[in-house]
Amino acid sequence: MGTPGRPDRDAEGGPPTPTVAERVELRRVQQGLSTAELAHHARMSPPYLRRLVEDGSFDPDGLARVAAALGTTYDELLHGRADPPPGLGEATGHTYLARLSERECWERLGTHGVGRLGLRGDQTPVILPVNFLVDGRSIVYRTEPGSPAAVESGAPLSFEADHLDDARSRGWSILVTGVAESVTDVETLSALTRRTGSRPWAEGRRTRWIRVVPREVTGRDLRTR
């Protein structure tokens, strides 16, 4: 186990994980703080903070004060995020992007999952995560009436889903572009509601079903030569 200043190398023999000092500096820049401002908030002198960063010799009390000043936790500065976003693995080389056929796209989407909607906003495009079902050759999702995702029939929209394999630096991405269609048929609604994956992760009165009627389905797969 690494010390607060010098954590272990990657367990798989890869590049070293960021040091505590590197995490502190990155967080400081993200927060838009100068070294002097961070030192003030952490109740320590700027020269002392600079020495800690340069030496990587944070003591537990000092690191706790720096973490509080940076709006994060002691554990996150010491060990990194417990839920890092995907895609942190290093590129392996000898990889290329391959276009997927429409059939391959639907195979990768499977029967249900989580994807992202692309919608027109008042000023800029809006991206929203949704639980989705594949219904025939279309995407359906449910949402609350009046929510941003509750678009009217005929509205243009897009849908994206992907999968990343950090260990192998591989992945795929599917993009469906088309128009929205409100699902109102009682039998269809009943069948969709009974299906596995039809219950959204987020609670709420999500009684509105929307179908993404595809005009184009494209996909790319990152493969190894």
Q: Over the stretch 132-144, which tens digit does the pLDDT of each residue have?
A: 999 999 999 999 9
Per-residue model confidence (pLDDT) at position 53: 80
Per-residue model confidence (pLDDT) at position 88: 61
Residues 150 and 216 in one domain: yes
Question: What CATH number does residue 49 fall under?
Answer: 1.10.260.40
Residues 135 and 163 in one domain: yes
Q: Residue ranges of the alpha helices (H) in the chain?
A: 20-31, 35-41, 46-55, 60-69, 74-79, 102-109, 186-194
Boundaries of domain holding 32:
20-79
Residues 56 and 138 in one domain: no
Read off the pTM: 0.66
Residues 123 and 209 in one domain: yes
Domain termination site, one of 49, 79, 109: 79
Query: How much of the chain, in percent, has pLDDT values that exceed 90?
Result: 47
Residues 162 and 63 in one domain: no
Q: What is the CA radius of gyration of the chain?
A: 24
Question: What CATH number does residue 104 fall under?
Answer: 2.30.110.10
Residues 34 and 143 in one domain: no
